[in-house]
Amino acid sequence: MAEPKQTPVSPPRPANDRRGRWVAILTGALSILIGVAYLVLITVLDSRGPLQPPPPEALGVAAAAAPAAAAAVPPPG
């Protein structure tokens, strides 16, 4: 008569091992969440179209027209 095979039983894991597993799962889920949020942000920003340069007034450079009196004076020479 053959003896029944016994399956090896692994010893219970220590609490520190379980905590490390949960930290790894949480870290992985957080990194996936950050990646998805980044892709959503890039999609929203790309859907607005190409960037346009700001108007000169926004940079503090005003295209002032020359007064008529200054334009009438001939250059020195």
Q: How far apart are CA 28 and CA 22, in angstroms?
A: 10
Q: Are 16 and 23 in contact (CB under 8 A)?
A: no
* pLDDT top residue among 7 and 20: 20
HSE, CB side, 13 Å, CA atoms: give it for residue 4: 3
pLDDT tens string 31-60: 999 999 999 999 999 999 888 888 888 888
The kind and range of the H/E element at 40 are helix 15-46
Residue-level pLDDT at 23: 96
